[in-house]
Structure 1
Amino acid sequence: MRVTGRVQGVGFRFMTKMVADQLGIWGCATNEDDGSVVIEAMGPDEALETFIEKVKASPAPYGRVASFTLTEDTTIELRQKFYTN
């Protein structure tokens, strides 16, 4: 998923990781040069649905999601935990 808005420099990736950990989601979140954040997320369907809704609402108190694009990508490398870089 790609998230734009106030999502860099406000703890967005850190808070996204906290939400992922609580829901048993694994993957990664990366800042992009255009100011967006790209999130790769894997986990049980119900947990993923909850995770997506929480990301759309911005898990960071000072963050704000302006747009959200969700794309299923079966080529993403399987990860064992959620990390940010």
Structure 2
Amino acid sequence: MKKHVHMIVDGRVQGVGFRHYTQLKAMECSINGWVRNRDDQKVEIDAEGEESNIQKFIEEIKKGPSPFASVSNVEVKVVNTPSHTHSFRVKYS
């Protein structure tokens, strides 16, 4: 069953390759959606995929891309509408 989630990632997650890491993990887990930096130094992720893949993706996001990154919190909210995306991309706005 498909699951759609919206995530806010807090910690040292900007300037450490986090968006690129997120995109790679999304492709590995067959996740569609997007990732972007926020003005408050957090990272925002919109992700949709099979429920088991979403869980695996969330666990990878909690780990972070490298020792230079530090994820202190991942807020996950389930979204009840489909995302209608067919790939995973980095948003720059």
TM-score under structure 1 normalisation? 0.92
Change (3 A) 1:77 1:46: closer
CA deviation after TM superposition for structure 1 residue 75, in Å? 4.2
Q: CA RMSD in A?
A: 1.1
Identity score, percent: 35
Equivalenced residue count is: 84
Q: How do 1:44-63 residues align onto structure 2 when only pairs under 5 Å count?
A: 44-58=50-64, 60-61=65-66, 62-63=68-69
**Does structure 2 conserve the Cα–Cα contact (< 8 Å) formed by 1:40 and 1:76?**
no
Structure with more of its chain in strand, by fraction: 2
Query: Unpaired segments of 5 or more residues in structure 2?
Result: 1-6
Q: Runs of 5+ in structure 1 lacking a partner?
A: none
The change in CA–CA distance for 1:67 and 1:79 in structure 2 (over 3 A counts) is same
